[in-house]
């Protein structure tokens, strides 16, 4: 997944303005205008690196002349105590952009790190780890990028990308069959996903012609049953109640996808610091 550069610049500028980085009174008072400095971005825990393009965009929005030398590629594992990158240039730029750059880097690396844990947990099975639309408003592109960097697979990006009839849609439609019929006549070639909660609803959706089903909050035995009933007629996505402790069991049922909202709504930020040296 590629980051859209115009959107990145807009996000970075908004973040810098929010922090008043262009009017940093402490730095302006203490640091001479021509003072140069070197710094490193230091990993203070093991992590999967993600977000360096945003870090670069942040500092260069303040000073295009700042030099940044990456030590690792996006998606690579960084060990505690290793330098992620080396920076050199205006000391004022380093200090004024530090917090915004770290906020992006820690957040996105946190998502990538958590995603990699889930991907590793299901390695060897057919299941792919998906993200969801449970993202921070305004930051979906970045957070989806972090999931992909961590080895996960991006689900539908927004409400226009694919049709997904969930419980509230089905309550209004009256049944999975009616919802599918309505969507099939409306969306054309867009993918249609129907949520089901039990074997009865699954059979009804299959009978209607659904080729992708979301298995909502099903137990491990019910997931296995759903895979058998489907018999390969539809791609199956397990969703709800998935954790690192049970994701391997979920994958072992034979589902095609496992969606995990926690990848974006609950990933803890990793610990990275900016250390200025001589």
Residues noted as catalytic: 99, 134, 166, 195, 216
DSSP three-state, residue 7: helix
Find the farthest-apart pair of alpha carbons in the chain and give their distance in angstroms, rounded. Answer: 73
The token duo for 102 is 């770290």
CA proximity to 135, closest of 144, 123, 127: 144
**Tokens 């012609």 belong to which residue?**
209
CA proximity to 271, closest of 79, 113, 44, 84: 44
Q: How far apart are CA 233 and CA 212, in angstroms?
A: 9
Q: How far apart are CA 120 and CA 140, in angstroms?
A: 23
Burial (0-12, 13-18, 19+ Cβ within 10 Å), 136: exposed
Contact 78, 84 (CB under 8 A): yes
């Amino acid at each position: 997944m590629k980051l859209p550069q115009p959107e990145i610049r807009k996000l970075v500028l908004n973040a810098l303005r929010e922090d008043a980085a262009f009017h940093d009174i402490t730095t302006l008072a203490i640091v001479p205008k021509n003072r140069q400095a070197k710094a490193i971005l230091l990993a203070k825990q093991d992590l999967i690196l993600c977000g360096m393009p945003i870090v670069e965009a942040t500092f260069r929005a303040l000073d295009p002349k700042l030099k940044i030398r990456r030590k690792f590629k996006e998606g690579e594992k960084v060990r505690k105590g290793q330098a992620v990158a080396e920076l050199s240039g205006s000391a004022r730029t380093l200090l004024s952009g530090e917090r915004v750059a770290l906020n992006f880097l820690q957040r996105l690396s946190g998502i990538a790190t958590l995603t990699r844990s889930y991907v590793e947990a299901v390695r060897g099975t057919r299941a792919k780890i998906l993200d969801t639309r449970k993202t921070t408003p305004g930051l979906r592109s970045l957070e989806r990028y972090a999931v992909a960097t961590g080895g996960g697979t991006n689900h539908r990006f927004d409400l226009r990308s694919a049709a997904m009839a969930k419980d509230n849609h089905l309550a209004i439609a009256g049944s999975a069959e009616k919802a599918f019929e309505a969507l099939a006549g409306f969306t054309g070639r867009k993918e249609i996903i129907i949520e089901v909660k039990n074997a009865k609803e699954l059979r009804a959706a299959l009978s209607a012609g659904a080729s992708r089903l979301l298995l909502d909050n099903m137990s491990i035995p019910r997931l296995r049953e759903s895979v058998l009933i489907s018999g390969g007629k539809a791609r199956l996505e397990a969703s709800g109640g998935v954790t690192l402790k049970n994701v391997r069991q979920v994958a072992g049922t034979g589902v095609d996808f496992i969606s995990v909202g926690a990848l974006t709504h609950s990933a803890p930020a990793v610990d990275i610091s900016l250390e200025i040296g001589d």
